[in-house]
Amino acid sequence: MNKTQLQVEAIHNGTVIDHIPAGQGIRILQLFGLAENRERITVGLNLPSKALGAKDIIKVENVRLSPAQANQLALFAPDATVNLIEDFEVVEKLQLHLPEKIKGVFACPNGNCISRREPVSSQFRVRAVSGQVHFRCCYCEKSFHQDFMAV
Ligand SMILES: [Zn+2]
């Protein structure tokens, strides 16, 4: 076990989400309502990472992230790793798949966008650029960084 792993204690059963870009950890907790259940959660923020410079890590006891949640997670942390833990061992690694398009999840941040005034579902093309996710609105063609997307 290396030093970085030792900075956050091991969990018995549950889910470890690692390699989250620094700053997205808190958002991900909110996205999945992880802080609202009563399970023990260990969060490491701004940990040193060779690949990312700094990273966040989340460990949740007794919660298994579903494949659908893993794909939602990809919208905020496309390079994150999700390990399911049983008895202190990794029993499964969930693969994250960034969808090409997302519909009806976020409203377009552009107040002048036609999708905000017409009864249509928002629709974005999704692209990952060096660990960050960009969304391009299919109606107004404007691009937005993940931080503009309110959950
Ligand atoms: Zn738009």
Looking at the chain, which runs of residues are DSSP E strands? 14-21, 41-49, 53-61, 81-86, 89-94, 101-103, 123-129, 132-137, 143-145
136 CA to centre of ligand 1 in angstroms: 8
| Residue 138 annotated as part of some ligand binding site | no
pLDDT for residue 137 is more than 90: yes
Name the pLDDT band for 151 (thresholds 50, 70, 90): very low
Dump pLDDT digits (tens) for 32-78.
Answer: 787 787 888 999 999 999 888 899 999 999 999 988 888 888 888 88
- Which CATH number is 14-94's, of 3.30.70.140, 3.90.1150.10, 3.90.226.10, 3.30.1370.110? 3.30.70.140
144 CA to centre of ligand 1 in angstroms: 9
pLDDT value, residue 6: 47
Dump pLDDT digits (tens) for 98-131.
Answer: 889 988 878 899 999 999 999 999 999 999 887 7
- Tell me the average pLDDT across 10-22: 92
Delimit the domains of the chain by residue range: 14-94, 101-148
| Single-letter amino acid code for the residue at 16 | V
* CATH top-level class of 101-148: mainly beta
132 CA to centre of ligand 1 in angstroms: 19
